[in-house]
Amino acid sequence: MKCKHCNYDIPDGAKFCPICGGKQDIPEGCGASAPPPPQMYGYPPQNESVTDSPKFVGFGGAIALYFKNFVNFRGRSTRSEYWFAFLFVELIMLCCWFIGFVVPGISVIAELVFFVPSLAIAFRRFHDAGKTGILPLVRTIVSLVWKMVMGALMIMLLMYAFGVTYGTDFNDNLFYLTLIGASAFGIVPFGLYVWQIVVCCFDSETKPNKYGREPRY
């Protein structure tokens, strides 16, 4: 049945709405004051349709939702939606790795194409577990910075190996200490990535939260 105050679907016979708290045994128009709108509780707008709620999907459905929500950082994504999309992206990246022997640089292009939608679905998966999407963003930034620093150091190492010494100011010990320190710092993005995987394995919250409605089949 529908809530008499916010029009949300609630179990038949319920005396109170779990969303707005409105009492259901008071006839409409009797003068009772209406409860605050559900938005005040952090829930979705009352005119949001059930089709906006996250859905438990198969492989094909997950891929369709992945591209449909290409730049959508709001809402929720179920565990099945996230992991099927993750599998799809990894399979594509594996194929690009093999093709890269013939077409150099295709893996980089694929990473750029999948960068935003993969970050967006990580946001939505965290939302579905009732958590903020800040961690995937922080992990992405830290990982990018670490990769750029390591890339620059490796280029310097290769150039030095071929006799480029950067003049008389080049310090071997300082360079190698920097390289070792940067390599050791790699445990930070790795640890954040492991924690992201753990959270993405969490089950969906079975009730509406401030990011969207409850999952559906």
Give me the residue spans of the domains in the chain. Answer: 1-53, 54-129, 133-203
This prediction's pTM: 0.69
Provide the 10 A C-beta neighbour count for residue 59.
Answer: 13
Digit-coded pLDDT (tens) for 156-172: 777 777 766 555 455 66
Q: 130, 119, 117: which is closest to 202 by C-alpha?
A: 130
Confidence tier at 30 by pLDDT (50, 70, 90): very low
Assigned token pair, 67: 């591209």
Q: 43, 11, 36: which is closest to 22 by C-alpha?
A: 36
- What's the whole-number average pLDDT of the chain? 80
Q: Is residue 66 packed enough to be buried (19+ CB in 10 Å), middle (13-18) or exposed (0-12)?
A: buried
Confidence tier at 126 by pLDDT (50, 70, 90): very high
